Amino acid sequence: MQESVEDKVKKAVVKVLKVDPARIKPTSRFAADLGAESIQSVELVAAFEEEFDISMDEDEALAVETVGDAVTFIGKCVREQHEV
């Protein structure tokens, strides 16, 4: 079965931030709740781009605050870049 966008996002978050998957909720904020430091935010964007084979506007991607918003944002990028 194909992994969902949400599952892939969670997998990248666990890998980069080294957090317990159980802590990751759609409302979890990367910095405030999951402890993402500045460099880890950039590493997350890089991990998402690699995982989904997409290119994201860096400023917009770094402005995303929660896991749920990341799923939405990445889903939109995937549709735009892979389903044309």
Partner 1 sequence: MSHAKTKKHELKDVTEPNLWEGIFPHDTVPRIPFDSAIIEEIDGKRVTFSPHAALARDIHITDTTFRDGQQSLPPFSVDHVARLYDYLAQLGGPNGVIRQTEFFLYTKRDREALDRCRSLGHRFPEITGWIRADAGDLRLVKEMGLKETGMLTSCSDYHIFYKSRKNRKTAMADYIKVVEEALAAGIRPRCHLEDVTRADIDGFVLPFVSRLMELSESVPENQRVKIRLCDTMGFGVTYPGAALPRSVPKLIYRMTHDAGVPPACLEWHGHNDFHKVHVNAVTGWLYGLNAVNTALMGIGERTGNPPLEGALFEYVQLKGATHGADLRVITEIADYFANVMHIEIPPRHPFVGRDFNVTRAGIHADGLRRDERIYNIFDTTRILGRPPRVAITDKSGVDGIVLWVNNFLGLEGDERLKKVNVHKIARWVLDQYEIDSRTSAITDDELAEQVRIHLPEHHSRHHARSKR
- In the complex with partner 1, the residue whose CB is nearer, 26 or 78, is 78
Q: Which residues bind partner 1 (CB under 8 A)?
A: 38-39, 42-43, 45-46, 49, 58, 62
Q: CA distances (Å), 35 to each of 1, 77, 81, in order? A: 31, 25, 30
Indicate the residue among 18 and 25 with the shorter CB distance to partner 1: 18
- Judged by beta carbon, residue 14 or residue 62, the one nearer partner 1 is 62
* Shortest distance in whole angstroms from residue 61 CB to partner 1: 8
Smallest distance, Å, CB 25 to partner 1?
25
**How near is the Cβ of 19 to partner 1 at its closest, in Å?**
18
13 neighbors 26 (Cβ within 8 angstroms): no
Residues 6+ apart with CB under 8 A from 70: 9, 30, 48, 64
Q: 78 near 5, Cβ under 8 Å?
A: yes
